[in-house]
Amino acid sequence: MCGICGVYNLSGKNSIDKKVLQKMVSLLKHRGPEDNGTYIDNKVAFGHARLKIIDLTKKGHQPMSDSKKEIYITFNGEIYNFKEIKEDLIKKGHKFNSNSDTEVIIYAYKEWGIRCIERFNGMFAFALYDKKKDKVFLVRDRLGIKPLFYSIF
């Protein structure tokens, strides 16, 4: 069980305070005591408190990005069929740096767009930022096993 948090600055006028993001992550430490990380730019800030389950190496560190730094994700949960999806993506020419289901989500999104979630079996909640398209997606599993809360202010 990991903890994820974030901010999406709709106006883009004010920068996101890194100290606020770090405080948010520190409040999630009980959900992921083994690692934590942040990603921040002037539009999006993602935080992650990690409990290592699938990829136990540093390559599973989150928030995670694709190799071109165009897609960023913070993810909680498990994609049960990620190995099968990964095999399909490798056949399509995608290269992976980790053995994590998180990275599979990134490249599935790059290959199939947001409809990639139709392929996922599991329990999950994640925030994905497509920097090139300037879009943020908040996604949770069909049953809401991994809840996702948000607020607009």
Active site residues: 2
Report which residue type is found at 71. I
Tell me how far apart the 2 most distant CA atoms of the chain are, in Å: 43
- The first and second tokens of residue 113, run together, are 């767009």
Cα gap 28→22, rounded to integer Å = 10
DSSP-derived 3-state class of residue 86: helix
Selection from 53, 37, 35 nearest residue 5 by Cα: 37
Residues 6+ apart with CB under 8 A from 42: 9, 12, 15, 16
Reduced DSSP (H G I as helix, E B as strand, rest coil) percent helix, strand, coil of the chain, to 5: 30, 30, 40
Task: Name the amino acid, one letter, at 14.
Answer: N
